[in-house]
A and B are shown apart, each in its own frame.
Chain A
């Protein structure tokens, strides 16, 4: 009930606006929707990277010490090596700082970041949904006004 009345009052506002204003509003809203979509995509990419990091950590923790492995020196050069201590990991926390953590803490760190990103994603998604509905409403009102205008001028 409340949401429908607020959306109909918003629609009333949109109806009152002139065609040019409406077009400007719709363009502005579309721009914002695109920006929000990009941000959402960025969050999704970052989340995927964190999940693969967490997966790698899990895998590493299962390997015994002294296990033979291939270490990447460049994108196309690997050298053979043995796994030393898998209990300590270096975590990149941003702005050039790295901290040494235990495997447990490292996994916990990844999980914390993933949760943070998930909640950011959800908040952003809500904002996007609202902006999108405003843009769509503006578009519909604009179309009906343009049609009215055409009908008036041709008749």
Chain B
């Protein structure tokens, strides 16, 4: 009697842990997408910075804002691109840390689930013998 209740509790616990694990995995997948996006943006901005550095002082720089090409100062363009690169690098680091944390949580959840499954199996094996 009590053992079947313990069985049900264990199964419910396993289910809830499985749901948690699925949620963590979805978060990890979303973080990976984000990481990809940031890496691409970082690469593009670094290319732009390189090109801007190759320019001479008086060369004309234009920025596309909507449908308008606006003349920009070379120094200002440099500063803007550098700031964007800083921001994207910081975001990338944040996403990496989040992925690291989530992966740690994922592993510990998996271990907990495995232990639960083992207990479940041993109880069921015990009941089958009885």
- Complex: A101 Cα to B65 Cα, angstroms: 20
Contacts of A97 in B (CB 8 A): 48, 52, 61-64, 72, 77, 81
Q: Quick one: given A95-B81, A98-B69, A99-B55, are A90 and B62 in contact (CB under 8 Å)? A: yes
Select from chain A the residue with minimum beta-carbon distance to B84.
Answer: A95
A100–B60 touching, CB < 8 Å: yes
- Complex: A95 Cα to B72 Cα, angstroms: 14
Name the one of A90, A96, A99, A100 contacting B51, with C-beta atoms under 8 angstroms: A99
State how many angstroms separate the Cβ of A98 from the closest Cβ of chain B.
4
Interface membership of B44, Cβ < 8 A: yes
Size bracket, chain B contacts: 20 to 34
A100–B62 touching, CB < 8 Å: yes
Contacts of A90 in B (CB 8 A): 62
State how many angstroms separate the Cβ of A111 from the closest Cβ of chain B.
13
Name the one of A91, A95, A100, A101 contacting B45, with C-beta atoms under 8 angstroms: A95
Contact residues, B71-109 vs A (CB, 8 A): 72, 77, 81, 84
Select from chain A the residue with minimum beta-carbon distance to B72.
Answer: A97
Contacts of B48 in A (CB 8 A): 93-95, 97
Name the one of B52, B65, B84 contacting A99, with C-beta atoms under 8 angstroms: B52
Secondary structure of the A side of the interface? strand
- Complex: A94 Cα to B61 Cα, angstroms: 12
> Can you give 22 A-B contacts (C-beta < 8 A)?
A91-B51, A93-B47, A93-B48, A94-B44, A94-B45, A94-B47, A94-B48, A95-B44, A95-B48, A95-B81, A95-B84, A96-B65, A97-B52, A99-B51, A99-B52, A99-B55, A99-B60, A99-B61, A99-B62, A100-B59, A100-B61, A100-B62
A96–B61 touching, CB < 8 Å: no
Contact residues, B27-83 vs A (CB, 8 A): 41, 44-45, 47-48, 51-52, 55, 59-65, 69, 72, 77, 81
Contact residues, A27-67 vs B (CB, 8 A): none
Contacts of B47 in A (CB 8 A): 93-94
- Complex: A94 Cα to B44 Cα, angstroms: 7
State how many angstroms separate the Cβ of A75 from the closest Cβ of chain B.
17
B51–A93 touching, CB < 8 Å: yes
A98–B64 touching, CB < 8 Å: yes
